[in-house]
Amino acid sequence: MRSLSESMLEYNRQLKAGEIRHAYRGLMQFMAGLRTSFEQHYPEHITGAIYPGYMDMTYFAFTPENIKKHKLKIAIVYLHEEDRFEAWLTGGNRKVQAACIDALRFAKLGRYCLSSVAPGVDSIIESILVDAPDFDDLNALRSQIEKEVQRFTEDMANLLKAVGNNDLAKR
């Protein structure tokens, strides 16, 4: 692995070339527009601020009331290196996350997989929304993400309902 100084030289070379700056700015503008779209289409839900990340992931939370009452959130995540959008069911904190994973351990998850409690794992359940997104048609991309997030949100609400308030209330 390079030293930090060597990495910074490469970083500066790449920034001067312009492509990274152009791509990152475009991604941030897209995420801001996507967030605004969720805010406008679902005013009854809580839409959080954008977390730009460290060029690893960029996300914002989207929280319907039927998810929030369990101290959970839906995160709409762009994973930079993987070049994909995902939706994550997340906990309000690590304790809630761990308890929810425990409560869902024996639930029928269908197409979904339960995450493990481990350092660096922020999700309870993850779902790929768009793999290798086409950033040349932003309206179609936004529409596809919104449709998939709606499906994921409904699936998570139904899952939480099926598990029951008793199991989740133990948290």
What does the domain layout of the chain look like in residue ranges?
Answer: 4-169
DSSP assignments along 60-111, one per residue: EEEE-HHHHTTTEEEEEEEETTTTEEEEEEEESSHHHHHHHHHHHTTS--TT
Task: Report how far apart the first and last C-alpha atoms of the chain are (Å, whole number).
Answer: 42
Phi, psi of 51 (to 5 degrees): -100, 110
The pLDDT score that the predictor gives to residue 164 is 74
The pLDDT of 150-166, averaged and rounded, is 87
Q: Which of 30-39, 84-93, 140-149, 155-164 has the lowest mean pLDDT?
A: 155-164
Phi, psi of 108 (to 5 degrees): -80, 110
The pLDDT of 29-54, averaged and rounded, is 96
> Which residue type occupies 104?
L
The pLDDT score that the predictor gives to residue 171 is 46
How many residues are recorded in the chain? 171
